Amino acid sequence: MRRSNRRGRTGRMEANILHADLDAFYASVEQLLDPALRGKPIAVGGGVVLAASYEARAFGVRGGMPGRRARELCPGLIFVGGHFKDYQRLGDAAIQVLGDFTPVVERISIDEAFADVAGCTHLFGPPAEIATTIRRRVRAELGLPISVGVARTKHLAKIASQVAKPDGLVVVDPRHELEFLHDLPVELMWGVGPVTRERLAGIGVRTIGELARTNGGSLERLLGPAAGEKLNALAWNRDPRKLETQRRARSAGAQSALGRKPAEAKIFVPTLLHLADRVATRLRAKSRPGRTVTVRVRFADLRSVTRSITLDQPISATAMLAEIAEAMVRKVLVDHPHEKTISLLAIAVSHLEKQPALQLELPLGLDDDRRRPGTRKGAARWTADRAIDKIRDRFGWEAVGYASVALGQSRSVPDAFRELAEKEL
C-alpha cells in the first residue's frame, strides 16, 4: 500500500488521485469492432441486458434488465452477443496506460481503476495534465472513450469520474470539495443503491448535502449503524482509504439476475448450485476456503433480503456451499410468505483462509455430516470437486458439471461474462 496524497507547498492536501472509467465499456467495444453499430442503440446480451450503449440508455435501457422489457422501451434496439476476449484485452490495455505513468494503480474491475500520481508529477506534469494525456492515449491507441475524475480522496475521484461521463474529465479543487459534492444526487455515492436511495428519499434526503446535514442517529436508525456512519463520513469527504496495489480479495461471490421467476425450488435450487459451483471453483483454485456464507434474495419490487452464517470450519466444496445457501434461501422465503417472485439470487463467501489446517471429525453420524469438511462424507465431496476441477482445466468448463444445473437452468448470462466480473482471489 502507498499513501494516497501528499501536501503541497501551502500545507494543504493535493488532488493526486485519479479514477479512470471506460465509458459504456462492453457496448463501446462492440461499436469499435463493428463501425456500423456506432451511434445506434445497442445492448450486449439477449435474454438479459448485460450492457447498453449511451444511445440505448437514453430510452431507459439498463444492465440487468430483461431483454423483452428493453425492446419495449427501445424498439430499434440492436442486440449483440459479446466478444469477451476483446473485452479482456482492451480492458487490460487501458489499465496499462495508467501504469505507464505510475506504479500505484488499484484496479477495481475490468474497466476502471484508481491511480495515485503524487510521485510522478515532476515527470509528467500536474494531475490534470496527466489525466488529459491518459484520455488522449486511450482514445488514440484503443479507440475507446474514457472518463477521468481527479480529487483528493478515492470516493470523490470516483464521483468526479461519474460526473465527467460520457468521455470527460473533472478535476475537483481541494478548496471547493464540499461545494462540488453537496449539490450532487445521493445515488452517486459508494454504497447507495436503489433501495438505499428510496429509503433516503423517504426522509427527504436526495442530495449528498442533505445527507451530510441529516442527524447521525436518524441515518443509523434508517440504514444501520455501520452504513449510516460510513455514508455520513463520505458525505463530508472523509475517506482515509489508501490505494492498494496488491489487494487480495476478502470474499468471492456470484449472482444471477433471473428477471421475474416464481419463488419455487425448481427455479432457485439449480440457480444456487450454479452460483455455488462458480464460487467454490475459484476458492479451490486459490486454496482459500471461507467460513462465512452470505445469500441475497431480491424480489420483484427490487427489495433485497440478505442472510449470513459463519461456520465452524472453512469450506470450498460446491455441494456444501449450495446446500447451505439453499437452506438460507428457504428460510428467507418462509420469513416473507407474501413474496412469490424472485428477480435475483447471489452467494458470497467471506472470511477466507489461506492454507487452513483441516480438523478431522469422528464419524458420529450427525445429520449435517455432508456439510462438514472434516468428516468422511465431507472429504469425499471435496475430492469429487477436485476431480471435476482437473477435467475442466484440461477440457474446458463445459466438459463436466452437476446434472441438476445442466438440466434445470437455462442461463441467459454467458459464463464468459460472469468470469470478467469476478475478482481475482
Measure the CA–CA gap between 181 and 52, rounded to whole angstroms.
27
Neighbours of 56 (CB within 10 A): 27
Maximum C-alpha span of the chain = 71
DSSP assignment of 317-335:
-HHHHHHHHHHHHHHHHHH
Beta bridge partners of 171: 150
Check: CB of residue 345 under 8 Å from CB of residue 258.
yes
> What whole-number distance in Å separates Cα of residue 33 and Cα of residue 142?
11
Distance between CA atoms of residues 49 and 81, nearest Å: 10
Active-site residues, by number, are 112
- 330 CB-side CA count, 13 A: 9
Given a contact cutoff of 8 angstroms between Cβ atoms, the answer to whether 2 and 104 are in contact is yes
Q: How far is Cα 393 from Cα 89, in angstroms, rounded to an integer?
A: 21
Q: Is 21 annotated as a binding residue?
A: yes
- Paired with 51 in beta bridges are 44
What DSSP string describes 26-72?
Answer: HHHHHHHH-GGGTTS-EEEESSBEEEE-HHHHTTT--TT-BHHHHHH
Grid look-up 452467494 returns 347
Q: At what angle do helices 127-142 and 84-99 cross, to 10 degrees?
A: 150
**Cβ neighbour number for residue 258 with a 10 Å cutoff:** 20
Cα(305)–Cα(344) distance, integer angstroms: 11
227, HSE (Cβ side, Cα atoms, 13 Å): 17
Q: Which helix (H) or strand (E) holds 162?
A: helix 154-164
Amino acid at 335: D
Identify residue 304 by its one-letter amino acid code: S
23 marked as part of a ligand binding site: no
Give the Cα separation of 210 and 112 in Å (integer): 29
Strands 17-22 and 112-116: what pairing? antiparallel
Please state the residue numbers annotated as binding site for Mg(2+): 21, 111
Please state the residue numbers annotated as binding site: 21, 111
